[in-house]
Amino acid sequence: MTSKNLQEHRSLHRPQHHLHKNGGLKIQYHLILKAIVVVSISLFFASCTRTTVPILPTRTSATEIPQVNPTPFVISTFEPSGMYAVVGIPEGEVLYLRNQAGITGSIVEELVYDERGITATGNVTNLGSSIWMEIQTPDGSRGWVNSLNMTEDVSLEQFCEDARALMVLDNSLRSIQTQDGNLLSQIVNPRRGLVIRHDWWNPEVIVPAEKVSGIFDDRSEMEWGLMSGSEFKIQGSFQEIILPLLEDALLNSPVVVCGTVPSGTTSRPALWPTEYTSLNYFAIHRPAPEGGNPFDWRTWAFVFEYIDGEPFLTSVVHFHGDV
């Protein structure tokens, strides 16, 4: 398969150097929990401040963490636009729009990594394990693309104010706190599974949707990429490698920010992967300790995708201080 054709088969991968330029919204976690049970989510956002505030208590023992039930998705604050955007294509590469489904189709047009305003005609076809969809671009061109390279187009403002997205974030954090794989499996993207990146520059590790429920018990060794600036492979299970990093961020007075990546002192800037440009996210940021090592900060981005107008957790991306 040529490099030209590989682009129709990528899921969400290959990090590139690009900084997300959208402004962020910092959110008090205890207000997120209140927002789940109140009717007016707009009042919640009106009361948020832009100062650094704790969202979770300091580390507690596992026996002190209560078991929780998933929060139902019952509140919506916007109507889906019906528009689509390109996803999974790094900046500098293109997605080929073809005159028929499949990589043998002739190229009609080249779509850039952050192309938006795309409409679906409703025509789809299965080709092996892939699903191709017919689309129309803003300039009126029609053609076919792999559906994995299309995502429902939701603006940052809509996402940050969507009560259902806050519910998914809340359940994501609860599932990690309680190591509840069943809860996590209910909110993970059913099309892509859970895409994990140990570092934004490292490749994706994909946990299929049907295996997410066992993620906290699975001891299978996996490769998560390379340590920064070296050829040392990061190897181990999710329990050994990823979970401690998530817990470090969640249980040490972090802040929640919508649509931007908070960072600290580092020799390698925290850059948002351009292939995720059309996806929205909440960032969980644990600042460096006051008076301590300035490189000792950590951020996890919880990346979302909408399917039929419903938000699902699609990916978690790790950022941290790099000496």
Q: In the 8-state DSSP scheme, what is residue 274?
A: G
* Predicted local distance difference test score (pLDDT) of residue 12: 57
Question: Is residue 147 one of the residues assigned to a domain?
Answer: yes
Q: Which one-letter amino acid corresponds to residue 92?
A: G
Q: What total of structural domains would you count in the chain?
A: 2
Statement to judge: residues 166 and 309 lie in one domain = yes
What stretch of H or E contains 143?
strand 142-146
Question: Is residue 37 one of the residues assigned to a domain?
Answer: yes
Query: Would you tell me how many other CB atoms lie within 10 Å of the CB of residue 9?
Result: 14
Statement to judge: residues 25 and 141 lie in one domain = no
Task: Decide which of 124, 152, 180 is a domain's last residue.
Answer: 152
Question: Is residue 140 one of the residues assigned to a domain?
Answer: yes
Statement to judge: residues 15 and 163 lie in one domain = yes
Task: Decide which of 99, 129, 152 is a domain's last residue.
Answer: 152
Question: Is residue 131 one of the residues assigned to a domain?
Answer: yes
Question: Is residue 291 one of the residues assigned to a domain?
Answer: yes
Question: Is residue 3 one of the residues assigned to a domain?
Answer: no
Spatial distance between the Cα atoms of 188 and 178, rounded to a whole number of angstroms:
16
Residue 126: C-alpha distances to residues 96, 102, 144, 298, 306 (Å):
18, 10, 12, 41, 21
Statement to judge: residues 147 and 184 lie in one domain = no
Tens-binned pLDDT, residue by residue, of the chain (323 aa): 444 444 454 545 443 333 333 445 544 444 443 333 332 333 233 333 332 323 333 333 333 333 334 444 344 557 777 899 999 999 999 999 999 999 999 999 999 999 999 999 999 999 988 999 999 999 999 999 999 999 999 999 999 999 999 999 999 999 999 999 999 999 999 999 999 999 999 999 999 999 999 999 999 999 999 998 888 999 999 999 999 999 999 987 789 999 999 999 998 889 999 999 999 999 999 999 999 999 999 999 999 999 999 999 999 999 999 86
* Predicted local distance difference test score (pLDDT) of residue 76: 52
Task: Decide which of 152, 169, 187 is a domain's last residue.
Answer: 152
* Predicted local distance difference test score (pLDDT) of residue 38: 33
SS3 content of the chain, % helix, strand, coil (to 5): 25, 30, 45
Statement to judge: residues 253 and 174 lie in one domain = yes
* Predicted local distance difference test score (pLDDT) of residue 44: 33
Statement to judge: residues 269 and 162 lie in one domain = yes
Under 8 Å between Cβ of 128 and 13: no
**Domain limits at 270?**
11-80+155-320
In this structure, the strands spanning 194-197 and 310-320 are parallel
Contacts of 120 (CB under 8 A, 6+ apart): 82, 84, 133, 134, 135, 136, 150
Query: Would you tell me how many other CB atoms lie within 10 Å of the CB of residue 114?
Result: 15
Query: Nearest to residue 161, comparing CAs of 246, 238, 229, 79?
Result: 79
Question: Is residue 34 one of the residues assigned to a domain?
Answer: yes
CATH number, domain with residue 114: 2.30.30.40
* Predicted local distance difference test score (pLDDT) of residue 225: 96
Quote the Cα angle for 217-171-302, to 5°.
85
Under 8 Å between Cβ of 274 and 200: no
Statement to judge: residues 43 and 180 lie in one domain = yes
Statement to judge: residues 200 and 135 lie in one domain = no
Q: Which one-letter amino acid corresponds to residue 170?
A: D
63, β-bridge pairs: none
* Predicted local distance difference test score (pLDDT) of residue 80: 73
Statement to judge: residues 225 and 208 lie in one domain = yes
Give the pair of three-digit tokens for residue 75. 């509140």
* Predicted local distance difference test score (pLDDT) of residue 252: 77
Give the pair of three-digit tokens for residue 66. 């209560």
Statement to judge: residues 63 and 187 lie in one domain = yes
Quote the Cα angle for 245-250-253, to 5°.
125
Statement to judge: residues 20 and 51 lie in one domain = yes
53 CA to centre of own chain: 23
Statement to judge: residues 110 and 234 lie in one domain = no
* Torsion angles phi and psi, residue 68, rounded to 5: -130, 160
Question: Is residue 313 one of the residues assigned to a domain?
Answer: yes
